Structure 1
Amino acid sequence: MKRMAASFMSFAVLSFLFCNFIFIRSASANLISVSQEIAIGTDAAKYVEEKYKLVDDAALQARVNKIGQNIVAVSGRKDLKYTFKVLDSDDVNAFALPGGFIYVFRGLTDKMQTDDELAGILGHEVAHIVKRHSINQLQKNIGLTILATILLAKTENGLTAEPAILSAITAGYSRSDESQADRIGFDETLAAGYNPYSMLIGLMKLDSISPREKTDLFSDHPGILKRIENMKKYLDTLKIPVQVKETDSSAYIANASGQTPPLKVSAEGLSQLERTYFLAGNIYKISMQPAYNPDYYILDSDGSNIYIYYDDINIIKLTPDDAASAGIDLTTLAREYITSIKLLLSA
């Protein structure tokens, strides 16, 4: 009786998937209902979490989810319950499943240490869901692979079609889909209040990863250098009032009114150039305040480092290494930064 029930269940599953296969192949992605999208994503998400397991770090999981939800709040699609989770793998990777399920790998959170960098990655993945790119991929790639998998699967032993579904979904987006996700992700990340250079810095870090570390995050994307070029064009549209300048050993901010002291050392997993891009983005955020007041700058310290704030905007963290490289004490260096930023914003 148990074997007969299992056989019947196998036949029912096969019949259901075959009917849905015919429907999906004949319909456009927009005709796949939200409930169907969620069902597909739920099954694939269960398989992913069984295969990789989640990182046992409640603080990291909560942090990534909070960043993701901030982006969802300003996204163009809110008819889903989005989840953001970190998988326990060294891969430098992230992906989105239908229905609002977004995953990043621990290897990626290790590389992208700041909230802004992670926001840039998550903004890209949210954009894939907003435009239903994974549903397009499922429709395009489902084909005979799933039918063959179901025919060979031994459902009585718990083997199902999830691997084939996941493979179809993550087979690689088109170049136009990836470019669209970059553009929408850039807009969403900015609207959520993150640094405008977040995605650019993330792309720069991806470009610096050695070939042996590169994973699916690079598959079928436009060339990484092309994506960086496009991101700089998006930034140009913001008319940021300062420019990032780089020398052989440092980077600094400048415009016609002056320049900041140069940054010569790395900190918090960011090179001096990446730190300078973040500084430029924070200066832009100050310039967008409705009532700029040069008296709103604040210095704060954790006993070792000094943080410069404008109101509640954390402009930059300066370290003892920064002071040593400048040949002055840390407080003096921080005051030089405030003076130079005020000058830059007076242009």
Structure 2
Amino acid sequence: MRQCFSFKRFFIGILFFNVFMVSAAQAGIISTKQEIAIGQSAVKQIETQYKLVDDPVLQERVSKIGRRIAAVSDRPNLPYTFKVLDVDEVNAMALPGGFVYINKGLTDCMLTDDELAGIIGHEIGHIVKRHSMAQLEKTLGMAVLMGGLFGGREIGAEMIALNAIAAGYSRSDEREADKLGFEQSVKAGYNPYGSLIGLMKLAELNPDVKSDLFSDHPEAAERIKLMQQYLEKKHIYPTIIEDISTASAQVVDGSWSLPPIKISAEKLTPCYRAYLTAGRLYQIARQPDYSADHYILDTDGSNMSIYYDDNLLITLMPEDALAAGTTLEELTKKYVETLKKWRIDT
């Protein structure tokens, strides 16, 4: 049975409970030590109420991605932890002090490390910018002005605290976390299109399974548009062209292009496959010793994979060849020949 879980509602209780760890005199200047203490208290409550996924491989996968991104963030010295909760809802949560939880439902949706890195980078972005702490500091300041949340605990002050925290992250916070998630994940070496794919997948979720990650469709569309602008400003190329009429997508860089991708594979649409391929090309193009002679073919007996050294670019299937009206061998040959011309034609 699908579990019903709202990080926002749970976080309200956690933060309000931990407000009393901070004195009124310190409202507005919550220290890093206090921030970590609040997060640690929240960790105990979460892990008492919810089970962690009993899958060491998955836990290590998420933790490895998180540690790699946290190391290049602007707050690398926090005691970061990254854990997967056994919850089906597609959601994630960043606690104060560096404690990040990802629902199993989210890992099931984000199949590649690059997609997951964008989401984890987003959560680290909230921590780096102290979004929840800023909200709490603001709330504490208002409560103190109202007459002492910690003394008389007037109902009015408590309601201010609860209402402020219940509002969750602002749109500005979410967009800032998107930008940081993109920048941090790319800096850590992940595919630059991973963040965009993650946002697009979340926007496509059935409304019945949507979570706190997206508040409404117009905002989802705006965040995707902003992410595309970040990619353009960072000069991330190649990019892709999507043909809605044929449900295909093509990796392009100026006048150069790969054959169109028309088939979904491993739950990745043609659009997502094209974005991942474009991002991998961007990554290898940053290598100072790039050479067109380093493309390698490999097969599992059914599919053909194209690598640059040990970096996978794309896996082509018999279905790709059928959609292209040719054989898998010929399609693969065409891809490799086109790839070798890439930095010559662009």
Q: Please tell me the TM-score bracket, short chain as reference.
A: 0.7 to 0.9
Query: 1:266·1:272 contact (CA, 8 Å) conserved in 2?
Result: yes
Query: 1:175·1:221 contact (CA, 8 Å) conserved in 2?
Result: no
* Aligned-residue offset at 1:167: 9.8
Structure 1 spans left out of the alignment, 5+ residues: 1-15, 152-164
User: Over residues 200-257 of structure 1, what are the superposed CA-to-partner deviations in whole Å (9 max), with x where a residue is unaligned?
Assistant: 0001101101111111112489801111111111111232343311112211122344
Whole-Å separation in 2 of the counterparts to 1:214 and 1:255: 35
Q: Match for residue 9 of structure 2?
A: none
Query: 1:172·1:220 contact (CA, 8 Å) conserved in 2?
Result: no
1:43 aligns with 2:45: no
C-alpha spacing 1:175/1:221, structure 2 compared with 1 (3 Å)? farther
Residue correspondences, number: 317
Stretch of structure 1 that moved more, 189-198 or 41-50: 41-50
Q: Match for residue 14 of structure 2?
A: none
Q: Match for residue 265 of structure 1?
A: 263
Query: 1:65·1:84 contact (CA, 8 Å) conserved in 2?
Result: yes
C-alpha spacing 1:168/1:311, structure 2 compared with 1 (3 Å)? farther
* Aligned-residue offset at 1:305: 2.2
1:343 aligns with 2:335: no
TM-score (norm 2): 0.84
* Aligned-residue offset at 1:170: 6.9
SS at match of 2:223: helix
5 Å-filtered alignment, 1:152-163, equals none
Paired residue type of 1:23: A
Stretch of structure 1 that moved more, 73-82 or 189-198: 73-82
Whole-Å separation in 2 of the counterparts to 1:288 and 1:190: 12
Paired residue type of 2:68: N
Whole-Å separation in 2 of the counterparts to 1:199 and 1:102: 17
1:56 aligns with 2:54: yes
C-alpha spacing 1:169/1:221, structure 2 compared with 1 (3 Å)? farther
C-alpha spacing 1:296/1:68, structure 2 compared with 1 (3 Å)? same
* Aligned-residue offset at 1:285: 1.3
C-alpha spacing 1:232/1:175, structure 2 compared with 1 (3 Å)? same
Query: 1:91·1:106 contact (CA, 8 Å) conserved in 2?
Result: yes
C-alpha spacing 1:90/1:17, structure 2 compared with 1 (3 Å)? closer
Equivalent of residue 316 in structure 2, options 307, 315, 318: 318
Equivalent of residue 69 in structure 1, options 63, 67, 71: 67
Paired residue type of 1:22: A
Equivalent of residue 189 in structure 2, options 193, 210, 213: 193
Whole-Å separation in 2 of the counterparts to 1:316 and 1:36: 47
Whole-Å separation in 2 of the counterparts to 1:138 and 1:46: 20
1:129 aligns with 2:131: no
5 Å-filtered alignment, 1:132-151, equals 132-141=130-139
Q: Match for residue 25 of structure 2?
A: 23
C-alpha spacing 1:251/1:177, structure 2 compared with 1 (3 Å)? same
